[in-house]
Amino acid sequence: MWLFGLAIVVLACKKNGSGNGTGNNNGEDTTKTVLTPEDPPLAASIGFFMDAWEPKSFTAPAFVEAAVPSAVTDTIIVDASTVISKISPCLFGDNSNLYQTQMVTEPVLLSHISALHPRIIRYPGGNLSSVFFWNALPDQPPADAPPMLTDAAGNTTSAGYWYGGNTAAWTLSLDNYYKMLQQTGNEGMITVNYGYARYGTGKDPVAAAAHLAADWVRYDKGRTRYWEIGNESNGTWQAGYRIDMANNKDGQPQIITGDLYGRHFSVFADSMRKAAAENGKTIYIGAQLLEHEPVYWATATDKGWNSGVLKQTGETADFFIVHSYYTPFNTNSNPPEILASAKTVTKAMRDHLVASMTAAGTDMKPLALTEWNIFATGAQQMVSQVAGMHAVMVSGELIKNGFGMASRWDLANAWDNGNDHGLFSQGETASGETKWSPRPAFYYRYFFGKFLGDRAIPASATGSNANIHAYASTFSSGEVSLTLVNGTVTAKHIRVDFKNFLPGSRFYWYTITGGEGNTGFSRKAYVNGAGPSGIAGGPDNYATLKAYGAGTKNGVKVTLPAMSVVYLVVEKK
């Protein structure tokens, strides 16, 4: 029957709790009522990024019977009576770039990407977007693209343009990007060249750059739904931040402002939407914002960026874009500092964006974190298991804070003594890794996706330590999923209690650690005890590794080793 919109299921249960839906196993015979909570209204900050959502069903994995702790140190309470949100399928993306090979020539890499299934892979990636001409052959830029560009200090340097028609083995052409998406079952997000609207030497550089972007939309023919105009265009490091006034013919200021970018955005968006309409397609176009309040020494551009952009794009942008590298730039951050940033920075981003939109009188729109990672350096943090733990926490916090889309930077980069954002190694000799070996973060993300449901629900830790982070979800097939992150150097023994959920007979889990007792930064990931054969990475057979399994007769209990992540799914009654 239905009551107040909630489906009510009455179950006669034995040895399964006190009748309040907590699922504690105290040997009592009881009757319980389990409510099916309604989904909340779709948050405006998620919006159309939820369009690809589909219900998920859990299939029990192959498993080996494992011991559970007899005594517990902490309790996790999972509340299945409330749905925080359906989980946006667009939150787990990645970034490609123009210096990681043609990809379709790399079957090992494609196999790993297919297994991870990030859903969205951004292109052409990062700062190079501002000097990328999608339809040009090598060394054949548009006639109005100057050979020299001006940096923030006023110095001129070679433009160093990149080309979508370059089929050399070391780069990634546009057509092979499309082929890679098709072969791995993912979709794209494209960043068009906004910088060209600033440094172009033609009579109307904004119109020329917008027309080039619109022609890309025509060529795309509806393959890509999500587009963003420019990359970090406020930054002093970006092509187009400062222009040579002698070459400009439409009276633009020397230094970019948020208001100027916002006015140009509208020109781009209008041209691109008309091009999409010619193909009978709908596209969504994002505008750039800053994710935090500018510091006192920030540029005037940064200080006025959000207000200027929102003034001009509040009605024309489909979504808003931010980037974050979470930890302080070029700082030797320790594990607790890195892990803590996942929660504090994500919430601070959301709060700042809300404040910026409120101040501008702009309604909330979908939020996209199209680049994120950590900036920590000095101890190979970026290629460590801590980066993997951080990645899991960021995904959990983005869900809780109502972001619609996110893409981590990036699939492959450069070793740089371990200061490498790449999810996969490019096989540099100094790294000691084979080409396309997954870094630890890959394994943490892979198993997070494997055991993640389709609706987020509340979970909270009680007990001796607040450094256990819990992220819970449900499957449409009825099971409960729980991801637990132990950010301490002490093992924890956990009991899971439930509200409004009756555990079935079994639960399953995977445990990932840095291996070999490592509680600092380890380049290894051990999954249920299986690790890499070399000096870094994780188990080659990750896709066929058996889960641990145990019965629920004595409760749902699990051990969290020091600095570990546990992914757990409990069967329904």
pLDDT greater than 60 at residue 549: yes
The CATH number given to 54-87+454-572 is 2.60.40.1180
DSSP per-residue codes, 444-511:
HHHHHHHT--SEEE-EEEEES-S-EEEEEEE-TTS-EEEEEEE-SSS-EEEEEEEES--EEEEEEEEE
Q: Average of pLDDT values for 294-299?
A: 96
Q: What is the pLDDT of residues 370-426, one digit of tens each?
A: 999 999 999 999 999 999 999 999 999 999 999 999 999 999 999 999 999 999 999
Task: Assign 12 a pLDDT band (cuts: 50, 70, 90).
Answer: very low
Q: What is the DSSP letter of 51?
A: T
SS3 397: helix
**Who contacts 290 (Cβ-Cβ below 8 Å, separation ≥6)?**
234, 302, 305, 306, 322, 352
- Give the pairing type, strands 63-65 and 547-551: parallel
Per-residue tokens: 555: 């409760």
The pLDDT assigned to 33 comes to 77
Report the C-alpha gap between 419 and 194 in whole angstroms.
29
37-42-43-49 Cα dihedral, nearest 10 degrees? 130
Out of 152-166, 422-436, 506-520, 542-556, which region has the weakest mean confidence (pLDDT)?
506-520
H-helix or E-strand spanning residue 352: helix 335-360
The pLDDT assigned to 128 comes to 98
**Residue, of 119 and 520, whose pLDDT is higher:** 119
pLDDT greater than 90 at residue 144: yes
Q: Are 186 and 120 in contact (CB under 8 A)?
A: yes
Q: What is the pLDDT of residues 421-443, one digit of tens each?
A: 999 999 999 999 999 999 999 99
Round the average pLDDT of the chain to a whole number and report it. Answer: 93
Q: Average of pLDDT values for 331-337?
A: 96
SS3 309: helix
- Closest C-alpha among 492, 461, 485, 319 to residue 395: 485
CB atoms within 10 A of CB 529: 11
Listed in order, the ranges of the chain carrying CATH 2.60.40.1180 are: 54-87+454-572
160-165-171-174 Cα dihedral, nearest 10 degrees? 120
The pLDDT assigned to 364 comes to 98
Report the C-alpha gap between 498 and 30 in whole angstroms.
16
Per-residue tokens: 524: 């290894």
Side-chain half-sphere of 465: how many Cα atoms within 13 Å? 20
Task: Assign 464 a pLDDT band (cuts: 50, 70, 90).
Answer: low
What's the burial of 94, exposed, middle or buried (CB within 10 Å: 0-12/13-18/19+)?
buried
Q: What is the pLDDT of residues 85-119, one digit of tens each?
A: 999 999 999 999 999 999 999 999 999 999 999 99
The pLDDT assigned to 461 comes to 86
pLDDT greater than 70 at residue 2: no
pLDDT greater than 90 at residue 466: no
pTM: 0.94
DSSP per-residue codes, 151-165:
-TTS-EEE---EETT
Task: Assign 463 a pLDDT band (cuts: 50, 70, 90).
Answer: low
Q: Average of pLDDT values for 502-518?
A: 92
Task: Assign 465 a pLDDT band (cuts: 50, 70, 90).
Answer: low
Report the C-alpha gap between 78 and 460 in whole angstroms.
7
Q: Are 387 and 340 in contact (CB under 8 A)?
A: no
The pLDDT assigned to 125 comes to 84
SS3 241: coil
The pLDDT assigned to 515 comes to 80
